[in-house]
Structure 1
């Protein structure tokens, strides 16, 4: 007999997400994804100066700050057909790639890994064997016995004191946990090391963005980073070489620890390559522009219908009409007035809460569609698109990761395994390595430009009378982000943000098709309905950011149900 379970709130994410599932015979048979807050930033922006929008939109979220800033300035620049200096593009690339790497490291280790890694089991490991395993997998210099043993002793101290701290309330000993004590210990060691390296890459964002979160150096028309090799108060060569040192230190960790960790975990959870695929329409945009017009990109994007790689359609640029003309949002199952499917240019944000109804409206999140269908966005669609587009770094990382997984699992694992919960996690780690490469390329290009005497970082915008429309795209850590703006006589007339977690966390659309979270959960196994770890594994694989998708709480604090979540 089918049983309905509710996880509210889903934790280890940003924002408030509720997931409801029907479970029958140990499997999820239906699911509902509900954003439990309303996002009113679009209302706040009406009537304001378009040049200020990026500062407001960063406040959509305390994690996804830089991504909203870049999408916002790009939207205004698109509306004005404004070019920006190449130096500004390169500095922006360094900021957003640094932010992306930080986000991916935090997601893999601090937000996602504990769904797969049993911290208590790690205390039972042979530390020398764990060290030997780490050294077999890679040449990472911090896989030595002394450091791994110190981590194990630290974990034992936590447990013996009864104070697990950051590891409290986990699903330790759950029957779905499969890693050996040694793999658990190795992963726990890298978990703690990751805290250091996410801090280092965030230093890069702070140096170039003045602060983080909420960078201060973006502007419509470029960046406010003045370049003068002779002035210590500007962006100097010395500062840029400090940036490069930090980038490379983090790159070593990504390539020698993070990539091998995801391969080792994936090999031990091979069955999870058959769960969590969900919506197979993959959408991503090109990013990391290298020219002033935004026509040359380091990273490719494209659309893949229904997972059919033979039908891959590259998207050439962020100004490709295929994007402008085919993106709509539905509110049929969201708490807004009416029932419409519209372009974001014509979208409205008029809240109308009518109660939670599985058959009607049940979320504050709208439902985006591409060509009339739901689409999954995120590192998985982006990595597959880059792989099919022939991006050399992506092909190298995908092939080497799959080769490691195949060796450890004792069977050949192909790229089709990425269409899954565990594949989605692997794609995020692979994209992290790709972003490191793009940072190195952008850094060198910036140094070369300065060497040629090019110092410009800003072109002043001019706002004509009448109406202008523009959209700014960015391939953010969680997937394709777009900000849509309508300007009238120099003021914001309408503004809509279509964020990655809107695409993925959205409820059923105008045609009642399940959203990506919902579809990905159908078919998932559930060993214990009271401890639904498997549901969290698939939901966490998307790295939900519901703060980006919505913003309101239930002030009545109506109790719904409780489950143990971390």
Structure 2
């Protein structure tokens, strides 16, 4: 038996350390730990709430807007501020731009190559690929013949970069389930997604001053000043992304779901997922009860269960456990909330 360590794994958000025991070419046991401590809570101590909204964004380069808005809303509550309706709308637009970017980035640029094999696309019959796309309602925005030639030149060059190291040809590619034609079609969408997530980032940059790590949302509202020209630009980009999403994403998801049906059971844990909601609705903040405010968001807070039912979040039951961490503290389940 051999023991291997991969540290760090940086393809995901937040570095991981993986230790494996391998016997006869099969992983017999494995241990995964997330040991990257950044201490953002410590960084914002003794800083103003305005500073905090800027600092906590650095938690993530994909979803900085959500962290900025969580901090800004906490500042609103602390100061007793009810932001203007225009500020609410601008925050929602900014959050929405990041929402689009994050979902496109996740489905395509972070996850798609776990299911789509671009090298296998070289086995495709391009004419058949067009027929498969039409038969399955898959979008055709790209020239598949041109893409096929580019993939062939790329593979012939021999410098496969991320496609090397047996990633796509391990076990003769048996882990991949798609036909060559589907691989070719979805590879084209993967490349289109690079442009679409960038366009969504441009929307966020227009509203936030830059992206990632926007600068306009602070406790008390938002500093962005809309003009007719800016709104025209924002609308044009939003329509472009919306049309691509409507044409592409749902059909691609269905195309992947069939061959990879078993993956729907992976990593689900207990099958219950908490969401705190997003996009404040008209009339926000709906009074003093913040839980009720979150229930009235456009996408409301709640618990999604294994049967796709939605129930209320019971905050009092949320616990954290440090028994398998390197933090100091009791080896018991405790509430993550504290007051000073």
Give TM-score scaled by structure 2 length: 0.86
Matched, 1:54 2:53: yes
Q: Does 1:154 align with 2:150?
A: yes
Map of 1:238 onto structure 2? 229
Distance 1:163 1:112, change over 3 A: same
For 2:191, what is the secondary structure of its paired residue? helix
Shift of the alpha carbon at 1:4?
A: 6.9
**CA spacing shift, 1:248–1:271, aligned 2, 3 Å:** same
Distance across 2 between alignment mates of 1:25 and 1:304 = 41
Separation in structure 1 between the aligned mates of residue 30 and residue 138 of structure 2, nearest angstrom: 43
In the aligned structure 2, how far is the partner of 1:327 from the partner of 1:189?
Answer: 42
Deviation at 1:16, TM superposition (A): 1.0
Q: Distance in 2 between matches of 1:26 and 1:159?
A: 28
In 1, the alpha carbon distance for the partners of 2:161 and 2:29 equals 35
**Are residues 1:334 and 2:325 paired?**
yes
Contact 1:85–1:292 under 8 Å retained in 2: no
Deviation of the 1:14 alpha carbon: 2.4
> In the alignment, which residue of structure 2 is the partner of 1:254?
245
Residue of structure 2 in register with 1:212 after alignment: 211
Tell me which of 274, 287, 295 is aligned to 2:278. 287
Instruction: Pick from 250, 260, 264 the counterpart of residue 269 of structure 1.
Output: 260
Tell me, which stretches of 5 or more residues in structure 1 are unaligned? 227-234, 316-321, 347-468, 470-485, 487-566
Does 1:344 pair with 2:329? no
Q: 1:207 to 1:174 in 2, by over 3 A?
A: same
Q: 1:38 to 1:209 in 2, by over 3 A?
A: same
Q: Give the alignment's Cα RMSD to 1 decimal.
A: 2.7
What aligned pairs does 1:352-431 form with structure 2 within 5 A after superposition?
Answer: none
User: Where does residue 297 of structure 1 map in the other structure?
Assistant: 297
**Cα deviation 1:309-367 (Å, max 9, x = unaligned):** 56x4235xxxxxx43x3333222211112325443333xxxxxxxxxxxxxxxxxxxxx
For 1:275 and 1:201, locate their aligned partners in 2 and report how far apart those are by CA, in whole Å. Answer: 29
Q: Partner residue of 1:171?
A: 168
Unaligned runs of 5+ in 2: 287-292
| Superposition pairs of residues 133-148 of structure 1, within 5 angstroms | 133-138=132-137, 140-143=139-142, 147-148=143-144
SS of 1:288's equivalent in the other structure is: coil
Query: 2: CA distance between counterparts of 1:171 and 1:341?
Result: 42
Distance (whole Å) between structure 1 residues aligned to residue 2 and residue 85 of structure 2:
57
Query: 1:71 deviation in Å?
Result: 1.0
| Shift in Å, 1:142 | 0.8
Partner secondary structure for residue 303 of structure 1 = strand
TM-score (norm 1): 0.53
Q: Distance in 2 between matches of 1:256 and 1:308?
A: 28
Quote the Cα distance in structure 2 between the aligned partners of 1:160 and 1:103: 33
* Aligned residue runs from structure 1 range 493-512, under 5 A: none
Corresponding residue SS for 1:345: coil
Q: Secondary structure at the match of 1:78?
A: helix
Distance 1:189 1:218, change over 3 A: same
User: Deviation of residue 20 (structure 1)?
Assistant: 4.4
1:96 is displaced (CA, Å) by 1.3
User: Which of structures 1 and 2 has the larger relative contact order (alpha carbons within 8 angstroms, sep 6+)?
Assistant: 1
Identify if the C-alpha distance between structure 1 residues 156 and 309 changes in structure 2 by more than 3 Å, giving closer, same or farther.
Answer: closer
C-alpha displacement of 1:141: 5.0
Matches of 1:332 and 1:239 in 2, distance apart? 51
- Give 1:314's aligned residue: 312
1:158 touches 1:165 (CA, 8 Å); kept in 2?
no
In the TM superposition, what is the alpha-carbon distance from 1:30 to its structure 2 partner?
6.6
Deviation at 1:21, TM superposition (A): 5.9
Q: Give the whole-Å Cα distance in 2 for the aligned partners of 1:39 and 1:23.
A: 32
Q: CA 1:74/1:29 → structure 2, altered by over 3 Å: closer, same or farther?
A: farther
User: Quick one: distance in 2 between partners of 1:59 and 1:77?
Assistant: 20
Q: Establish whether residue 80 from structure 1 lines up as the match of residue 79 from structure 2.
A: yes
Say yes or no: does 1:102 pair with 2:94. Answer: no
